[in-house]
Amino acid sequence: GPIGCLGNSWETRGSLSSGPALHRRAFTTAMGDHDVIFGGEPRLREAVLDVGRRFRPAAVFVYLTCVPALIGDDVEAVCREAAAELGIPVVPVLAAGFAGTKNAGNRLGGSALLTHVIGTAEPAYTTAYDVNLIGEYNIAGELWQIQPLLDRLGIRVLSRISGDARYAELTWAHRAKASMVVCSRALLSLAADLQNQYGVPWFEGSFYGVRATSDSLRGFAEVLGDPDLAARTEAVVAQEEARVAVRLAPYRQRLAGVRAVLYTGGVKSWSMVSALQDTGIEVVATGTTKSSPDDVTRIRGLLGADAQLIEEGNPRHLLRIVRESGATLLAAGGRNMYTAMKGRVAFLDVNQERHQAYAGYDGVVALAAEIDRILSSPVFDSVRRPPPWAAGNPAPT
Give a three-class secondary structure readout of 326-369. Answer: CCCEEEECHHHHHHHHHCCCEEEECCCCCCCCCCHHHHHHHHHH
pLDDT bucket at 156, cuts 50 / 70 / 90: very high
Residue 230 domain flag? yes
Strands 308-310 and 130-136: unpaired
The answer to whether residues 136 and 190 belong to one domain is yes
User: Regarding predicted confidence, which is higher, 288 or 281?
Assistant: 281
Q: With bands split at pLDDT 50, 70 and 90, how would you rate the model's confidence at 391?
A: low
pLDDT of residue 55: 96
**Domain containing 65: what range?**
3-99
The per-residue pLDDT for 334 is 87
3-state secondary structure of 162: strand
For residue 305, is it within any domain? yes
**Domain shared by 375 and 264, yes or no:** yes
Q: Is residue 105 part of a domain?
A: no
Average pLDDT over residues 113-132: 98
- 333-383 residue pLDDT tens: 988 999 999 999 999 999 888 889 999 999 999 999 999 999 999 998 888
Mark which of 47, 80, 99 sits at the end of a domain. Answer: 99
pLDDT of residue 13 exceeding 90: no
> What domain count does the chain have?
3
Same domain, 54 and 81: yes
Distance, CA of 83 to chain centre: 30
pTM of the model: 0.92
Handedness of CA 259, 265, 270, 276 (dihedral sign): negative
Res. 205 pLDDT band, cuts 50 70 90: very high
Read off the pLDDT band of 277 (50, 70, 90): very high
pLDDT for position 79: 98
How many other β-carbons are positioned within 10 Å of the β-carbon of residue 316? 9
% residues pLDDT > 70 (the chain): 96
Torsion, Cα of 147, 249, 349, 329 (10° steps): 160
Contacting residues for 186 by C-beta, under 8 A, at least 6 apart: 102, 103, 104, 105, 106, 107, 110, 135
On whether the CB atoms of residues 356 and 275 are closer than 8 A, the answer is no
Q: Could you tell me the end-to-end alpha-carbon distance of the chain, in angstroms, rounded to an integer? A: 57
CATH of the domain at 14: 3.40.50.1980
Task: Give the pLDDT band (50/70/90) at residue 299.
Answer: very high
HSE-up (13 A, CA, CB side) for residue 40: 25
Of 187, 204, 239, at which residue does a domain stop? 239
In sequence order, what are the residues at sequence separation of 6 or more whose Cβ sits closer than 8 angstroms to the Cβ of residue 122?
A: 172, 175
pLDDT at 396 (0 to 100)? 56
